């Protein structure tokens, strides 16, 4: 991959569901901003930035990017309160879960502009909770862990909220009915030092435990510097009772707590005790008694401080999940809430937990240069067939360094070194550059080499330069309408859902799909790039047995990438 941009860098604001305008920006400044947008009501655009020395940059594409609220819904909350309630409302509406009622000695009031940036679907309202004001759910919530056979696992839990405060107090609490310290009692709150804390009731002996972090460098919900004029912060607390070795000190009886502030881990703590299989009670947002208020007795680490018994500040977009949001999802929510997604193409790809294989194709030329290095955690190295040209200029990466790619000359390809069985849902992605050559780009089939066997599915350039995504059984093809042999770098992404839906994206844009419900059975074989296989059984065939052109950044995922996943990858190439 490369920070050098041999093809015009796209710049400007791009609208969905209408022809993309062609805007020429002569003498453009070095720092360009690209917008990916949806034009529908409540839609959003996300900004990406990158540097280029090019001039005459043209706006040549469009891309879909959902708003913050869409991302939250796709993560599967069991409770989601947007806090967009109108002025004077007594009801806290819910997009998911039970509605709530505003209560307390003081009245909650609507805030005209919430936490979510205009570029992420805002501005929307938030709620200001003065001291003693809170919102309580009208009904109880009961969450149960996953059931495997006769066994029920402890429930996993994630709490999420945007807050703006210079005071602190309880943010989100699950309060069991009655006054007893029932296991499962949960609180996310902010103490008087601005630290984000989690209080839990665990077994045995209904032990109350509090975690707030270790040191002054931990990210905070507010500091003394911004107490008079606080900013919005994104808080996430993950409660994971898996008791992973090395992460908690108590083996299988441990409960791991991770707290994120503004998309990054503030701290990761292990608690000894059993988290229950079922958590039940009423959710409450805002003021609530802090029952686990403990000061660390070690003067060298006495950074935990008492939390106010009353919350004072603004709260927005509260969500609760009966599961663990991973670091990628938390970062995505924060970035989308802020309206921007940062990072390079490589960091974007590596962040996906379902990444199966990632060949950056930056391998160095040499007399024995046959191995392809896998940059994914799975270390699935591959092999160059014959000796392609290595070290040629690569595709754009969003970095300022010059990366490299592989040039294939119509006689060789690249293959995985070991077979594997693909899941029903998968995705594959690769950058390609062709100045007239055609052939396969990515394929999966029963052999590593040769052209004698039929691939199970493939992405290829036809003789006319159209891109095709085809599967053999049942025979289906998604085909683009234009010739892509223009000497420019393009990102092609092919996805298959668990239900059999095929989608084909080019440069972050959905260009075609087949929504047939026939689900292909899992296949065992090898991934190959640039060639290989007998395509005579395909209705739409590649224009040559092997590709003539350049390939860069080949990847495979064990799930269907969503439209925003694809848009993030494409945008991160700037």
Mean pLDDT computed over 243-258: 64
Do both 212 and 242 map to the same domain?
yes
Determine the Cα–Cα distance for residues 472 and 537; give it in Å rounded to an integer. Answer: 7
- 192 is in which domain, residue-wise? 76-324
- 461 in a domain, yes or no? yes
pLDDT digits (tens, 9 = 90+) for 70-98: 889 888 999 999 999 988 889 999 999 99
Determine the Cα–Cα distance for residues 432 and 441; give it in Å rounded to an integer. Answer: 8
Q: In the chain, how many domains are there?
A: 3
pLDDT at position 574 is 59
73 — phi, psi (to 5°)?
-60, -35
Mean pLDDT computed over 347-361: 87
Model confidence at 140: pLDDT above 60: yes
Do both 213 and 109 map to the same domain?
yes
- 428 in a domain, yes or no? yes
- 335 in a domain, yes or no? no
- 158 in a domain, yes or no? yes
Do both 521 and 444 map to the same domain?
yes
pLDDT at position 28 is 34
Average pLDDT of every residue of the chain: 79
Do both 197 and 141 map to the same domain?
yes
Non-local CB neighbours of 355 within 8 Å, separated by 6+ positions: 349, 376, 377, 378, 555, 556, 557
Do both 519 and 551 map to the same domain?
yes
The model carries a pTM of 0.63
Do both 97 and 45 map to the same domain?
no
- 71 in a domain, yes or no? no
Determine the Cα–Cα distance for residues 346 and 23; give it in Å rounded to an integer. Answer: 28
- 509 in a domain, yes or no? yes
Give how far Cα 343 sits from Cα of 177, 193, 264, 380, Å: 45, 31, 14, 24
Model confidence at 57: pLDDT above 70: no
- 63 in a domain, yes or no? no
- 427 in a domain, yes or no? yes
For the chain, give the number of residues: 574
Which has more pLDDT, 120 or 3?
120
pLDDT digits (tens, 9 = 90+) for 269-286: 888 777 888 888 899 999
pLDDT at position 401 is 58
Do both 88 and 179 map to the same domain?
yes
3-state helix, strand, coil in the chain (%, to 5): 10, 40, 50
pLDDT at position 400 is 53
Model confidence at 303: pLDDT above 50: no
Do both 222 and 122 map to the same domain?
yes
Model confidence at 18: pLDDT above 50: no
Which has more pLDDT, 424 or 342?
424
pLDDT at position 29 is 32
Do both 46 and 88 map to the same domain?
no
pLDDT digits (tens, 9 = 90+) for 411-439: 888 888 778 888 889 999 999 999 999 99
Determine the Cα–Cα distance for residues 376 and 403; give it in Å rounded to an integer. Answer: 18
- Name the residue among 241, 197, 203, 196 with its Cα closest to residue 220: 196
Which has more pLDDT, 292 or 492?
492
- Name the residue among 263, 443, 255, 258 with its Cα closest to residue 351: 263
Do both 433 and 527 map to the same domain?
yes
CATH number at residue 122: 2.60.120.200
> Which has the minimum average pLDDT: 55-64, 197-206, 282-291?
55-64
Do both 374 and 418 map to the same domain?
yes
Do both 37 and 142 map to the same domain?
no
Determine the Cα–Cα distance for residues 189 and 194; give it in Å rounded to an integer. Answer: 10
Which residues does residue 170 pair with via DSSP β-bridges, in sequence order? 189
């Amino acid at each position: 991959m490369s920070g050098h941009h041999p093809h015009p860098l796209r710049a400007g604001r791009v609208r969905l569901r209408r022809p993309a305008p062609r805007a020429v920006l002569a003498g453009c400044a070095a720092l360009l901003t690209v917008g990916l947008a949806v034009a529908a009501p409540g839609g959003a655009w996300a900004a990406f930035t990158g540097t280029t020395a090019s001039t005459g940059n043209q706006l040549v594409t469009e891309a879909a990017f959902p708003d913050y609220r869409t991302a939250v819904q796709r993560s599967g909350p069991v409770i989601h309160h947007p806090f967009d309630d109108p002025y004077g409302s007594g009801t806290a509406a819910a997009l998911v879960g039970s509605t709530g009622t505003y209560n307390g000695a003081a009245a909650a009031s609507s805030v005209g502009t919430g936490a979510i940036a205009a570029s992420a679907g805002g501005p929307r309202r938030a709620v200001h909770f003065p001291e003693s004001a809170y919102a309580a759910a009208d009904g109880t919530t009961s969450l149960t862990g996953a059931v495997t056979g006769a066994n029920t696992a402890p429930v996993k839990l994630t709490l999420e909220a945007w807050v703006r405060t210079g005071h602190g107090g309880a943010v989100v609490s699950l309060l069991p009915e009655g006054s007893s310290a029932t296991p499962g009692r949960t609180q996310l709150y902010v103490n008087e030092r601005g630290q984000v804390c989690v209080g839990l009731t665990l077994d045995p002996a209904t032990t109350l435990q509090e975690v707030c972090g270790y040191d002054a460098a931990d990210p905070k919900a507010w500091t003394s510097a911004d107490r008079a004029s606080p900013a919005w912060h994104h808080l996430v607390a993950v409660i994971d009772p898996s008791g992973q070795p090395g992460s908690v000190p108590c083996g299988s009886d441990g409960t791991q707590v991770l707290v994120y502030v503004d998309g990054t881990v503030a701290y990761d703590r292990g608690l000894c005790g059993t988290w229950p299989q079922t958590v039940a009670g009423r959710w409450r947002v805002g003021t609530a008694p802090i029952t686990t208020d403990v000061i660390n007795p070690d003067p060298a680490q006495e950074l935990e401080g008492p939390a106010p018994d009353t919350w004072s500040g603004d709260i927005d977009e509260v969500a609760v999940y009966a599961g663990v949001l991973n670091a990628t999802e938390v970062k995505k929510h924060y970035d989308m809430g802020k309206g921007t997604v940062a990072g390079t193409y490589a960091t974007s790809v590596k962040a996906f937990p379902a990444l199966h294989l990632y060949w950056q194709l930056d391998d160095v030329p040499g007399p024995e240069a046959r191995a392809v290095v896998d940059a994914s955690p799975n270390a699935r190295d591959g092999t160059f067939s014959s000796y392609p040209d290595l070290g040629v200029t690569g595709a754009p990466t969003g970095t300022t360094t010059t990366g490299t790619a592989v040039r294939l000359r119509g006689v060789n390809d690249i293959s995985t070194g070991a077979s594997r069985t693909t899941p029903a849902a998968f995705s594959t992605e690769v950058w390609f550059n062709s100045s007239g050559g055609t052939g396969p780009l990515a394929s999966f089939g029963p052999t590593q080499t040769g052209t004698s066997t039929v691939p199970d599915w493939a992405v290829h350039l036809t003789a006319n330069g159209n891109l095709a995504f085809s599967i053999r059984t049942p025979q289906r093809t998604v085909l683009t309408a234009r010739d892509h042999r223009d000497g420019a770098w393009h990102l092609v992404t092919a996805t298959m859902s668990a239900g059999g839906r095929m989608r084909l994206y080019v440069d972050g844009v959905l260009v075609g799909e087949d929504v047939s419900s026939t689900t292909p059975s899992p296949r065992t074989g090898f991934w190959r790039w640039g060639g290989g296989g007998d395509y005579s059984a395909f209705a739409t065939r590649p224009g040559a047995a092997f590709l003539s052109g350049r390939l860069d950044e080949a990847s495979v995922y064990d799930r269907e990438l969503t439209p925003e996943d694809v848009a993030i990858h494409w945008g991160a190439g700037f």
